[in-house]
A and B are shown apart, each in its own frame.
Chain A
Amino acid sequence: MKHRMVVLVALVLAYGAVPLLLGSMDYVMSLIIAALTIGGVALAWALLGNLGGLVSFGHAAFFGVGAYTSAILVVDHHWPVLLAMVAGGVGAAVASVATMPALRLRGPYFALAILAYGHIFRILAVEATSLTGGAAGMLSIPGFPTLLGINLASKTGAYALILTIVLLFAWLYGLIRRSTYGLALRAMHDSELATRVVGVPSTHLKAAMLVISAFMTGVVGAFNAHQINFLDPEYAFASSWTVLPIAAAIFGGYRTVWGPVLGALVVFLVDQLVFKELMPSGHQLVFGVLLGGMVILGPHGLLPLLGRWSKKEASHAGA
């Protein structure tokens, strides 16, 4: 009951208070939208890491494929934007099927094979000039429509849209985690061999997580394309679409559902508002320090760390 109240209050704050208080500040709203975009990818990355047990260095590939799929469908085939975004997710999911042979590789090899795929997709996007416009990119990609009287192309509208996308994904993530599949996936963590012995098709489950993670990343990529109305391969497949979500997920705690999203908000906003001001070039250094620091000091991320603290506080209060 108490839990429900917290969720309700958070929803009211997220949908109501944030646009009301900050809606007039365009710059802050763009930052929050960008942070949620990264949060969406971070959530997808963490789903693969937590449930699938796979570390990916190539989520930029799914992001870029999603963005291009959606943009091409809207520009060349005049699909409605929101439908094309879903198709962008499907495109990324299809792309992830191409990476599936990598699933039989052990941990680090998988991570690096996916990295290789990321590069291949970027080069393909540059070379497929007739489809993607090549290195010059695609200009004036249509933005979001007006839905139920809300202009999604406005800052507040785009915020509501990405917030909804991230919330839906988090809900889906939670659903998978609580299902029997989630149980099997968690069991795989402890011992993949033992899990296979009792009849769990571990590779199939991992493949499913990869597809879902790619789909989510693709939708977020598509959202980004229609929000900034521009795409080029260097941007759509930029390594920062991999680096930032990993930093966010590791910082927030990739074993939790909300950690990556909160991590993205904190990491991105602090980076943009503080570190970018302090050091205009090379401020990504902070992400590196953050990744290293978290791995050494708190491998489970901030959210579980906070949870432990609050529990300690509570037990102190009780005593």
Chain B
Amino acid sequence: MLELILQALYSGLLAGGYYAMIALGLALVFGTMRIINLAHGELVLLAAYVAFEMERSFGWTPLASIPVALVVVGLTALVIYLLIGRIRQDRELNSLILTFGIAIVLTNLILMIWSADIRSTSNSWFMDGVVLGDTLFSMRGEVIFCVIGVLLLAATYWWLNHTWQGRALRAVASNRDAAKLMGVNPARIEALSFLVSGVLATFAGVAVYTASVVFPAVGHNLTIKAFVITVLAGMGSVPGVLLGAVLIGVGETLTTTLAKPSLQELTGMVIFLLILFLRPSGLFGRKGMVKK
């Protein structure tokens, strides 16, 4: 039993790596624009399907398709950004409906192009087993993308804290008007946050394709999961996102091991509601989501 629990913890930890990439992308856009991009999971899914198409048509390994996916997802993210810019009134709620609509469009486009079949990489190199300390099992793809996820998160953290643009992004997130007075162009920073969010989504998408399975409905679940993690982390905390992602990952695998797989989804939701009601500013956040 102990072995099973340890294995669940380990698998959950690995899943946390790519969950964190997805959640950080969502959190960045939310931070700068106060907008929850409900199409974020679909961006991740799009990257996954680009990887699938490259593998099917040209036999590329998923890693090689990342540049292509970057272009496709980056452009799509920019289109979403431009569409949101067209909203004239009540942006907070209308953007929710708009991105909800975009999510439906993307899901159905993916459904039309690639059908509802379940897809995953056929590249056996990624599926080879990696055994840690004789007992903990994982696939090579899981380990690779968990490492990539942590590295990307660290890079984003560094970028946010040590580059001019990263600081500008945080400035816009904390006070848009003040940032403007300091010579930051908020519109450019917002577009940038969408692009970075797209980059994170791309890596996450290829990770999901390699380490797990994808089908059109996955995008919606990923958006919810990312949102749950963001709420868990509290806004504007990169380490918080990582910890929240691991928490959700571990919570899910433990539920699968100790209870049953069908309850897996429930875990995230229950954690989410508990956090919302008990500690609305998140585990690490400062800003509340409760009305003042």
Asked if A57 CB lies within 8 Å of chain B CBs, one says yes
A195 to chain B, nearest CB (A): 13
Contact in complex: B111, A282 (CB < 8 Å): yes
| Docked-complex contact A120 and B83, CB < 8 angstroms | no
State whether A105 and B276 are in contact (beta carbons under 8 Å apart), knowing that A123-B265, A295-B87, A296-B83 are contacts in the complex.
yes
Once the chains bind, are A288 and B116 in contact (CB under 8 Å)? no
Interface of B is mostly: helix
Task: Give bound CA distance, A295 to B83, whole Å.
Answer: 10
Decide: A289 and B105 in contact? CB cutoff 8 A: yes
Q: Are A55 and B270 in contact (CB under 8 A)?
A: no
Q: Does B182 contact A (CB under 8 A)?
A: no
Residues from chain B with a CB closer than 8 A to the CB of A120 are: 266, 269-270, 273
Residues of B within 8 A of A291 (CB): 97-98, 100-101, 104
Residues of A near B266 (CB, < 8 A) are: 119-120, 123
Which of B87, B93, B98, B220 makes the CB contact (< 8 A) with A239? Answer: B220
Are B102 and A109 in contact, CB atoms less than 8 angstroms apart?
A: no
Number of interface residues of A (CB under 8 A): 41
A295, B111: Cβ atoms under 8 Å? no
The distance in angstroms between the C-alpha atoms of A283 and B104, with both chains bound, is 10
User: 1/0 per residue A13-43: CB within 8 Å of B?
Assistant: 0000000000000000000000000000000
B276/A288 in contact, CB under 8 A:
no
Chain B contact residue count (CB 8 A cutoff): 46
Contact residues of B between 100 and 121, Cβ < 8 Å to A: 100-109, 111-112, 115-116
**Separation of A106 and B94 alpha carbons in the complex (Å):** 14
A123-170 residues with Cβ-Cβ distance < 8 A to B are 123, 126-127
* Chain B 205-230 interface residues, beta-carbon cutoff 8 Å to A: 220, 224, 227-228
Q: Does A299 contact B (CB under 8 A)?
A: yes
With known contacts A282-B112, A285-B109, A112–B86 Cβ distance under 8 A: no
Determine chain A's interface SS by DSSP, over half rule. helix
Which of A105, A115, A246 makes the CB contact (< 8 A) with B290? Answer: A105
Q: Indicate whether B16 reaches chain A with its CB closer than 8 angstroms.
A: no
Least distance between B84 CB and chain A CB atoms (Å): 9
B96 interface residue, CB < 8 Å from A? yes
Given contacts A105-B289, A116-B269, contact A285 B108 (CB under 8 A): yes
Bits for B216-260, please: 1 = Cβ < 8 Å to A, else 0: 000010001001100100000000000000000000000000000
Q: Is A287 part of the binding interface, using a Cβ–Cβ cutoff of 8 Å?
A: yes
Q: How far is the CB of B228 from chain A (nearest CB, A)?
A: 8
A106-B289, A285-B109 as given contacts; A113 in contact with B36, CB under 8 Å: no
Output the least CB separation between A271 and chain B (Å): 12
| Pairs A–B under 8 Å by Cβ, sample size 18 | A104-B290, A108-B36, A108-B92, A111-B93, A112-B36, A119-B269, A126-B262, A246-B97, A281-B112, A282-B112, A283-B108, A285-B108, A285-B109, A285-B112, A288-B108, A291-B104, A292-B102, A299-B89
| Closest A-B pairs by Cβ, 4 of them | A291-B101, A288-B104, A288-B105, A285-B108
Residues of chain B touching chain A, judged by Cβ–Cβ distance below 8 Å, are 36, 83, 86-90, 92-94, 96-98, 100-109, 111-112, 115-116, 220, 224, 227-228, 231, 262-263, 265-266, 269-270, 272-273, 276-277, 280, 289-291
Using a CB–CB cutoff of 8 Å, the interface residues on chain A facing chain B are: 55, 57, 101-102, 104-109, 111-113, 115-117, 119-120, 123, 126-127, 239, 243, 246, 250, 279, 281-285, 287-293, 295-296, 299
